[in-house]
Structure 1
Amino acid sequence: ALFPPAFTGGENKAVAATVDCNPRYVYLDPYEGAKAVVAEAARNLSCVGAEPLAVTDNLNFGSPEKPIGYWQLAEACRGLAEGCRELATPVTGGNVSLYNETLDSQGNPQPIYPTPVVGMVGLIPDLSKICGQAWQVAGDVIYLLGLSESKITLGASEYLASIHGIVAGKPPRVDFDWERRVQKVCREGIRQGWVRSAHDCAEGGLVIALAECCITGKRGADISLKLPLDDSQRLDEVLFGEGGGRILVAVAPEQQEIWESYLQENLGQNWQKLGKVGNSEIGLRVLSSDGQTLINARIEEMGDRYLKAIERRLAVYTNTQER
C-alpha cells in the first residue's frame, strides 16, 4: 500500500506499508521463521523503492501455559527482535493474541500455527520513482538478484505443503548482510530509473514469483535457467525452492549495460540474467540451458488459478456443508 504526499506534508514523498508472515516457517522453527518475517517485510518494501523504517507486530499464538506454546512465543519474539535490530526497524507498537486453539476431529484442542504478523512501513523519497511487480514492456531484460542455489531449500516450502501434503524440514536461514545488500541494490535501481518492475521470491520460489509477474502484468516471459551440471540439486528445488534475499527485476534493454555494471560492482557474481519479458500470447516459458522445456503455462490458465482460488475453496466448503 502506498500513502500519497498529503500524508507527508505535501512533499513528493510517500509511505509504503506491508503486512507479512509465513506461519509454516514459524511453526517449524520459531526463531528463524520470525527473522524471515521481518526480512520479507523489508524486501517487499524495497521492491517498490521504499526504505524500511519501523515495525508494528501482531503476535497470534496458542496457549503459553503449555511448554511448546511458551517456547514458540519466546523464540519468535527473540527472532523478531534480532530481525528488527539487523534491519534498523524499531518496533513502535503491537498487540498479542494468545490461547488461539480449535478442536480436532477427536475433540482435542489444537493450537493454531504460531503467527507473528509484522506490519512494516517504509519511506519513498520520490513518489515518481516507484515500481510494482507487473512486467511493463515486452523486451525488458529479467534478472534474478540474490543468493546462489546452495542457499535454496525445499524445507518448509509451499511446494512440499501444496503438492506433497508435507509440512516438514527447516525453513531457509536468513542472511541479513545479504538481505541489506540485495535490497539496497533493488532500491537504487528503482530510484535511478533502471528497474521497471521488481518482485521478491517468497512462498513458492522462483517459478511462482515469475508467474505472479506475468499474471499482474498480463505479459509472458521467456526464461532460460542454468541448472547444476551435476546432481547436487533437484530440479524441483531449483524451480520451487525457497530462500531469502532474492528479487526478480526487469530492466529496459537500453539500461542493461549500466545496470549489469552496477550489479557486478555491488553483488559480484550473485545475480543471473534469466530472459526477457514477452507479450500476452507466449505465457510463461521456462527452459533449461540445454533447451529442455520445464514450464509452459498460458497467462489465462495461471490467472484463473491465482485469482479464483478462494472462490473455488469456498465453493467446495459450501457444497460439503450442504451435504
Structure 2
Amino acid sequence: VAATVDCNSRYVYLDPYEGAKAVVAEAARNLSCVGAEPLAVTDNLNFGSPEKPIGYWQLASACRGIAEACRELGTPVTGGNVSLYNETVDAGGNPVPIYPTPVIGMVGLIPDLKKISGQAWLKKGDLIYLLGIGEPSPNSEVLSESSKIATSPTLGGSEYLAAIHGIVAGKPPRIDFELERKVQSVCRDGIRSGWVGSAHDCAEGGIAIALAECCISAKMGAEIHLSCNSANVGRWDEMLFGEMGNCIVVSVAPKNQEVWEAYLQEHLTEMWQKIGLVCCAESPLRVVSADSQVLIEVSMSDMGDRFYNAIERRIGSV
C-alpha cells in the first residue's frame, strides 16, 4: 500500500472549486509516480467560519470540487473530519480566516513491491521525458481554448509568484481529467513494465523545480532542452516555474527507448516529449532553449545547499 497527503491552500483560496479538484488530482498523481493504483480518499477539511458568506462559499465549492474529482478518478471518500472557525493573524496582527485547506489523504495499491519507482534519476545516460506536454505538430488537432488552459503551465497561484514576488493571485491550474487519467496510467504501466526508472510529478514550483528535485535526490545532474511553443506559453518563467496538473517527469534507460516511445505514441499520442539526458554526479542541472540559450545552469552543490540548509538558515535568522 502507498499513501500520500496533499493540499495546496493557495489554489483553494484563489478558486475553491478548481483548487480542490487539483488537490485530489495531485494526490493521485503522487501515488501513480511510485507505481500505485489510486484507491480511496480521506479528507481533512480546514476552513474559516461557515457563518460568513465567503467562508460558506469556500467550503461548499471545495466539497463540490473534491466530489467531482473523486468521481473522475474513481477514488471514493471513505472518511474524514472537519475543522471550522479557524483563524490566523495578518501582518497587522488582525484576526483573519485561514486559507481554505482541504487536505486529501489518498491510498493506493502496489501490485508488486519489486516494481516501484522513486523521484531520483537512476543512471547516467538515462533519457528524460515529460508526460502531459507534447511537441506541436502540423498534423495534430487544434486545441480548444479550454484544453490549452488545462494543459499549459500557469503562474497563477504558483510557488514562484508567492516566493519570488510575494504575490498570491491569479487562477490556479485547471485539471483535464481525461489527460490526467492517461498520464497517470502511462506512468504506472511504464513502472510496472520495467521501462520507467524514476518518476516525479510537476506540481509546486513547476518543471524546473521537479527537475532540480530529481537531481538532488540522485546526486546527478541533467542536460535539458525545452521549447516554450510546446506548452502554449510565451514566457520562459511560465514554462520553467508555471504549474499545471497532468504532468510527470520520468527517466528511462536507453535500452528501453524504442518500446517506451512506441507505447507513448499509442497511449498518449502527441502529449509527451523527450527533453534530455541524465548526467554524472559532477554535472550541473542545465536547461537550454531550442535556440541554444542557457536558461538555467546550477551546480549540484548549490542546489543541495539550498535544499538541505534552508530551514536551518531561516530559523537562525529569526
Whether these two folds match at TM > 0.5 is yes
Code of the aligned partner of 2:13: Y
User: SS where residue 254 of structure 1 aligns?
Assistant: helix
Partner of 2:44: 58
How far the C-alpha of 1:148 sits from its partner, in A, is 4.9
How far apart are residue 227 of structure 1 and its match? 3.1
Question: Which residue is 1:269 aligned to?
Answer: 270
**Residues 56-205 of structure 1 mapped to structure 2, 5 A cutoff:** 56-148=42-134, 150=148, 151-205=152-206
- State the shift of 1:57 in Å: 0.7
Distance 1:104 1:238, change over 3 A: closer
Amino acid at match of 1:201: C
Cα–Cα, structure 1 residues 197 and 105, in superposed 2: closer, same or farther, change >3 Å? closer
Moved over 6 A (4+): none
Q: Per-residue deviation at 1:155?
A: 0.9
Match of 1:257 in 2: 258
Report the alpha carbon displacement of residue 145 of structure 1 after superposing the two structures with TM.
Answer: 0.3
Contact 2:134 2:273 in 1 (8 A): no
User: What residue is the counterpart of 2:219 in the other structure?
Assistant: 218
Identity of aligned residues (%): 72
Give the whole-Å Cα distance in 1 for the aligned partners of 2:197 and 2:91. Answer: 50
What's 2:5 paired with?
Answer: 19
* Matching residue's letter, 1:246: C
Please list, as runs of the form range in 1=range in 2, the aligned pairs for 1:299-318 lying within 5 A after superposition.
299-317=300-318
Secondary structure at 2:12 match in 1? helix
Q: Deviations over 1:269-318 (max 9, x none)?
A: 1101011001111120001122110000011111111122222222222x
1: distance between equivalents of 2:287 and 2:88?
A: 42
Per mean C-alpha deviation after superposition, the further-off stretch among 302-311 and 90-99 is: 302-311
Could you list the runs of 5+ residues in structure 1 that have no partner in the other structure?
1-14, 318-323
Superimposed CA distance per residue, residues 161-184 of structure 1 (whole angstroms, 9 cap, x where no aligned partner): 111111100001111111100000
Q: Is this contact kept in 1: 2:233–2:239, CA < 8 A?
A: no
Q: Which residue in the other structure is 1:12 paired with?
A: none
Residue type at the aligned position of 1:96? V
Deviation for aligned residue 1:226: 2.2
Q: Is the 8 A contact 2:228 2:235 kept in 1?
A: no
- Per-residue deviation, 1:199: 0.3
Change (3 A) 1:133 1:266: same
CA change 1:167–1:148 in 2 (3 A) is: farther
1-side partners of 2:92 and 2:130: how far apart?
Answer: 47
Partners in 2 of 1:162 and 1:90 — Cα distance?
Answer: 34
Number of aligned positions between the proteins = 302
Q: Quote how far apart the aligned CAs of 1:147 are.
A: 3.6
Match of 2:138 in 1: none
Corresponding residue SS for 2:229: coil
- Find the aligned partners of 2:255 and 2:262 in 1 and give their Cα distance: 13
TM-score (norm 1): 0.91
More moved, 282-291 vs 208-217: 282-291
Opposite residue 31 of structure 2, the aligned amino acid is L
Code of the aligned partner of 1:33: G
- 3-state SS of paired residue (1:116): strand
